[in-house]
C-alpha cells in the first residue's frame, strides 16, 4: 500500500538563550487516516508567535511546555481533506491548533470554520485572530482609552501593536508607536496612521518619546519590557492604565537583565499616580470574542484597520523564522505558507 508522507517539526532540545535551528528537528511522517469522529486537516498557514519561545522552555509559566520529541505547538489555517466529523466537509477552511506539521487529525477540539468571504483566510491567524483579539481586549477592556488621551504601544509594527494603535485612533486617542528601525517607524506613521513613532534603537529614545508625548501617557500597551518600559514609565500620567501584554525583550534571556528602575520607584509611582498595571492572557477575554470579530472585521473591511503579513514559504523555514521573530526581523504578522489550497 502507498502511504503518503507529510512533514512535522519536533522540539529536539530546550534552548538556552536564543533558540538554535538544531533545537527543532524536521522529520517525515505518514499522513494519518481519519477514524470515526475525526477529520484529516492539511495545513495551509502556520502562525509563528512570540509565546512559542515560552513553550520551548520548562520554566514555570501559565501554559504547559511542549515536551521534548513532541510536535511544536501552533495555530494553523487548514483545509479539511477528509471528514467523518459532523459539520465539517472536504474543502472547508478551519482554524485549528494543528501545530508545526503539514497534516493533522482533528476531532474538532478548539477548531472553528473560517468564512473566506470576510477576508483572506490567513487573517484568522493575525488581525482577525489571536493577535487582533489581544489588541482589542487588552486596549479596550484594560486600557480604556478616551478621546484626546495619549496611547503608547511598543512592538508597534507587529501583529498586536499595529492593531492597538489603529483601534486607539478609532477611539479618538493619539497613538504613539515604538518600533525597531526607521522603516518600521515610517510604516507605522505613514501606512497605519499613528501620530508618531519612536525607534527604540535610537540612543536618545527616552528624550524622543518624551517629545512625542507632550501631555504625558495615559495608556501604555506593554509588549516589550526592558529599556522600553523604563523610558515609558516616568511619562505615565495620573490614573494611567498599563495593559501588560508581553515582555519580548526578555524571552531569550537566561537571566533577567538589571534595570535602572528600582522596585521602590515603581511601587511609589503606582501609589502616587494611582496607576493601574494589569497583566492579561488573551483567553481571559474569551467572552469578548464575538464583539471583537464583529468590530474588527468591519474595521478591516472599511480600511480603518490595516495589517501587514510577513510570509515565508515552506514548513522547513519555520525554525529560522521564529528565531528572526524574536530578534525583531519580522515586519508584520509572521506566517509560514505551508501549502496552497487544493480546492
Ligand X SMILES: NC(=O)c1ccc[n+]([C@@H]2O[C@H](COP(=O)([O-])OP(=O)(O)OC[C@H]3O[C@@H](n4cnc5c(N)ncnc54)[C@H](OP(=O)(O)O)[C@@H]3O)[C@@H](O)[C@H]2O)c1
On whether the CB atoms of residues 183 and 114 are closer than 8 A, the answer is no
Residue among 257, 336, 341, 342 nearest 7 (CA): 336
Q: How near is the Cβ of 50 to ligand X at its closest, in Å?
A: 4
Given the complex with ligand X, which of 32 and 120 has the nearer CB atom? 120
Q: How near is the Cβ of 128 to ligand X at its closest, in Å?
A: 14
Count residues binding ligand X (CB under 6 A): 29
* Binding-site string for ligand X from residue 270 to residue 309, where x marks contact by CB under 6 A and - marks none: ----------xxx---------------------------
Q: How far is 232 from 219, CA to CA, in rounded Å?
A: 10
Q: How far is 50 from 336, CA to CA, in rounded Å?
A: 14
Q: Among the candidate windows 38-46, 167-175, 244-252, 290-298, which touches ligand X by CB under 6 A?
A: 244-252
310, β-bridge pairs: 334
- Does position 134 interact with ligand X (CB under 6 A)? The reply is yes
Given the complex with ligand X, which of 98 and 330 has the nearer CB atom? 330
Secondary structure of 256-316 as H, E, C letters: CCCCCCCHHHHHHHHHHCCCEEEECCHHHHHHHHHHHHHHHHHHHHCCCCCCCEEEEECHH
Segment 14 to 43, residues that bind ligand X, using CB under 6 A: none
SS3 123: helix
* Binding-site string for ligand X from residue 149 to residue 188, where x marks contact by CB under 6 A and - marks none: ------x-xxxxx-----------------xx---x----
Segment 66 to 125, residues that bind ligand X, using CB under 6 A: none
Residue choice 51, 118, 276, 311 for contact with ligand X (CB under 6 A): 51
Vertex 137: Cα angle to 236 and 108 (nearest 5): 150
Residue choice 131, 132, 143, 319 for contact with ligand X (CB under 6 A): 131
Residue among 124, 128, 137, 203 nearest 164 (CA): 137
Residues in contact with ligand X by the rule CB under 6 A: 49-51, 131, 134, 155, 157-161, 179-180, 184, 200, 223-224, 228, 245-246, 248-249, 280-282, 325, 328, 330, 333
Amino acid at each position: 500500500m502507498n502511504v503518503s508522507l507529510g512533514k512535522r517539526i519536533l522540539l529536539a532540545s530546550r534552548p538556552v538563550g536564543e533558540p538554535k535551528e538544531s533545537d527543532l528537528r524536521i522529520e517525515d511522517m505518514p499522513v494519518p487516516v481519519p477514524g470515526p469522529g475525526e477529520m484529516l486537516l492539511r495545513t495551509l498557514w502556520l502562525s509563528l508567535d512570540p509565546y512559542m519561545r515560552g513553550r520551548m522552555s520548562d520554566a514555570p509559566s501559565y501554559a504547559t511546555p511542549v515536551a521534548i520529541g513532541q510536535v511544536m505547538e501552533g495555530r494553523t489555517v487548514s483545509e479539511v481533506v477528509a471528514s467523518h466529523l459532523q459539520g465539517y466537509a472536504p474543502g472547508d477552511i478551519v482554524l485549528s491548533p494543528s501545530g508545526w506539521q503539514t497534516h493533522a487529525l482533528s476531532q474538532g477540539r478548539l477548531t472553528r470554520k473560517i468564512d473566506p468571504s470576510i477576508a483572506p483566510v490567513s487573517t484568522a491567524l493575525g488581525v482577525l485572530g489571536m493577535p487582533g483579539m489581544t489588541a482589542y481586549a487588552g486596549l479596550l477592556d484594560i486600557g480604556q482609552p478616551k478621546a484626546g488621551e495619549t496611547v503608547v504601544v511598543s512592538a508597534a509594527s507587529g501583529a498586536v501593536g499595529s492593531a492597538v494603535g489603529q483601534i486607539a485612533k478609532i477611539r479618538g486617542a493619539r497613538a504613539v508607536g515604538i518600533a525597531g528601525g526607521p522603516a518600521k517607524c515610517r510604516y507605522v506613521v505613514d501606512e497605519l496612521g499613528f501620530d508618531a513613532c519612536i525607534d527604540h534603537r535610537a540612543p536618545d529614545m527616552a528624550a524622543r518619546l518624551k517629545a512625542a508625548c507632550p501631555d504625558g501617557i495615559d495608556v501604555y500597551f506593554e509588549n516589550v519590557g526592558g529599556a522600553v518600559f523604563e523610558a515609558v514609565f516616568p511619562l505615565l500620567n495620573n490614573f494611567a492604565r498599563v495593559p501588560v501584554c508581553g515582555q519580548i525583550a526578555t524571552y531569550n534571556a537566561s537571566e533577567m537583565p538589571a534595570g535602572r528602575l528600582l522596585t521602590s520607584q515603581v511601587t511609589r509611582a503606582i501609589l502616587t499616580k494611582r496607576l493601574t498595571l494589569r497583566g492579561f492572557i488573551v483567553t481571559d477575554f474569551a467572552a469578548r470574542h464575538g464583539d471583537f470579530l464583529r468590530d474588527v472585521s468591519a474595521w478591516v473591511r472599511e480600511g480603518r484597520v490595516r495589517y501587514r503579513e510577513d510570509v515565508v514559504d515552506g514548513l522547513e523555514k519555520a525554525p529560522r523564522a521564529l528565531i528572526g521573530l524574536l530578534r525583531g526581523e519580522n515586519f508584520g504578522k509572521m506566517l509560514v505558507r505551508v501549502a496552497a489550497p487544493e480546492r
